[in-house]
């Protein structure tokens, strides 16, 4: 099976380059957000740490690692407060078992026969 090959004339190449330049002038390229005002060095360190943790913990989504990094390194929450929450179990997963006959409404869990009816 042969590959398709396209050849463009110099005129077509010039038009394509001009089109790219026009797009660059008219549209601003997106920039990575930096809500914690990290320096370039801190951002590079953060990216390296996220890559390392992704290799070490491949089942954890990169965004979660990113959030944890921000919580620990942004300085907005004192490290002692974070340690207290971890040691107290406040950040642990809810251990309640939900059965099929339960419905969640907001933060309230009702059994099917206790579900409030619509008021008329």
pLDDT digits (tens, 9 = 90+) for 15-64: 777 877 877 777 777 777 888 888 999 999 999 999 999 999 888 888 88
In a domain, 105, yes or no: no
Interhelix angle 79-88/62-73, nearest 10 degrees = 120
Assigned domain for 2 exists: no
Give the count of domains, the chain. Answer: 1
| pTM of the entire predicted model | 0.47
14 within some domain: no
User: Considering the domain boundaries, does residue 72 fall inside one?
Assistant: yes
80 within some domain: yes
Domain that holds residue 57: 38-89
Position 74 in a domain = yes
Residue 95 in domain: no
Instruction: Return the number of other C-beta atoms located less than 10 Å from residue 65's C-beta.
Output: 19
């Amino acid at each position: 099976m042969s590959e398709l090959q396209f050849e463009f004339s110099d005129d077509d190449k010039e038009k394509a380059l001009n089109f790219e330049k026009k797009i660059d002038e008219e549209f601003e390229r997106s920039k990575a957000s930096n809500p914690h005002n990290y320096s370039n060095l801190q951002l590079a360190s953060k990216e390296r740490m996220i890559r390392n943790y992704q290799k070490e913990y491949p089942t954890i989504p990169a965004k979660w690692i990113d959030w944890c990094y921000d919580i620990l390194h942004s300085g907005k929450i004192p490290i002692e407060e974070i340690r207290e929450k971890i040691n107290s179990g406040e950040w642990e997963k809810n251990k309640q078992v939900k059965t099929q006959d339960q419905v969640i409404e907001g933060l309230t869990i009702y059994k099917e026969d206790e579900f409030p009816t619509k008021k008329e």
